[in-house]
């Protein structure tokens, strides 16, 4: 299907071979686990999975179940999606080529949009704008799933720090909540280019301490206990070491 803005194609089958991908492709593994080959590397895919292909990649998939695979081709993608999904500074080949398995409501969301695309495609140039909208929605759903998958540990750790920074300052305890070792947590966060775990906890404590010093009249000793420090002297050293001044001086300086 060709429109003034875009070109689409749809292919449904159980065995699909693409020798030279000249468009962006959405591969939807509908209802059967199968083996696929991407750039001559074999991998397994589960049902309700999506793979995005870049132009120039070689792809083959085979399934025992009839019409288990749907291939959607699109000539042009919105600039916003191209900049994010295929930006080498924030993604990688592993990120771009990773297959995403959807479950529950997300699987239904994707399946319904692909079914709508197929129906519109079969109507011969009817509803082209709707096809664009459905494809954009699928790309955004896949992108969000990939980001969540790649940054899952980082996001989970940040959430734990947000919930427990006042009562737990130890990296080991957060790692335990994530069912990994402190070293594994350090390595996982390091791969994402974020701060070390103890630095994230420290920064959170400092930020909250500053807010309490600036926007409340609470005594510094009370702030110390509120943030989970048992010893006011230790809190005083902690604040001065990381801020370069005492908590009292920080409060007075900002008051002026």
The predicted structure's pLDDT at residue 97: 60
Which pLDDT value is given to residue 92?
44
Q: What is the pLDDT of residue 164?
A: 96
Question: Tell me, what's the pLDDT at 220?
Answer: 97
Separation between Cα atoms, residue 137 and residue 135, nearest integer Å: 5
What is the pLDDT at residue 177? 96
pTM above 0.75, yes or no: no
With CA atoms as reference, report the closest residue to 27 among 62, 1, 3: 62
Residue labelled with tokens 């005083």: 236
Task: Please tell me the predicted confidence (pLDDT) of residue 115.
Answer: 87
Residue 2, pLDDT score: 53
pLDDT in tens, 33-42: 788 888 888 8
Per-residue pLDDT, 222: 97
pLDDT of residue 165: 96
What are the φ and ψ backbone dihedral angles of 229, each rounded to 5 degrees? Answer: -90, 130
pLDDT at 93 (0 to 100)? 44
Residues of the chain whose pLDDT is less than 70? 1-9, 19-22, 67, 73-97, 124-128, 256
DSSP annotation string for the chain: -B-SS-BEEEEEESEEEESS--SEEEEEE-SS-EEEEETTEEEEE-SSEEEEE-TT--EEEE-SSTT-EEEEEES---HHHHHHHT-TTT--HHHHH--EE--HHHHHHHHHHHHHHHHHHHTSSSSHHHHHHHHHHHHHHHHHHHHHHHTHHHHHHHHHHHHHTTT---HHHHHHHTTS-HHHHHHHHHHTT---HHHHHHHHHHHHHHHHHHH----HHHHHHHTT-S-HHHHHHHHHHHHSS-HHHHHHHHH-
pLDDT of residue 89: 38
């Amino acid at each position: 299907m060709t429109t003034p803005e875009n070109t689409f194609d749809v292919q449904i089958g159980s065995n699909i071979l693409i020798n030279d991908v000249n468009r962006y492709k959405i591969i939807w593994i509908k209802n059967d686990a199968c083996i696929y080959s991407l750039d001559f590397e074999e991998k397994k895919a589960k049902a309700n999975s999506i793979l995005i292909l870049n132009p120039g990649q070689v792809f083959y998939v085979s399934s025992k179940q009839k019409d288990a695979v749907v291939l959607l081709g699109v000539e042009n993608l919105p600039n916003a999606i191209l900049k994010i999904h295929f930006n080498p500074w924030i993604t990688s080949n592993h990120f771009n080529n990773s297959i995403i398995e959807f479950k529950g409501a997300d699987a239904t969301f994707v399946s319904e949009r692909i079914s709508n695309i197929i129906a519109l495609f079969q109507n011969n140039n009817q509803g082209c704008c709707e096809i664009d909208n459905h494809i954009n929605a699928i790309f955004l759903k896949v992108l969000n799933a990939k980001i969540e998958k790649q940054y899952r540990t980082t996001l989970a750790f940040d959430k734990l720090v947000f919930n427990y920074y006042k009562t737990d300052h130890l990296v080991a305890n957060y790692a335990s909540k994530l069912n990994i070792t402190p070293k594994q947590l350090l390595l996982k966060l390091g791969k994402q280019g974020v701060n070390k775990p103890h630095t994230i906890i420290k920064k959170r404590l400092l930020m909250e301490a500053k807010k309490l010093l600036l926007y409340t009249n609470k005594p510094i000793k009370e702030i110390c206990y509120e943030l989970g420090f048992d010893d006011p002297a230790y809190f005083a050293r902690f604040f001065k070491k990381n801020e370069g001044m005492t908590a009292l001086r920080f409060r007075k300086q900002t008051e002026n």
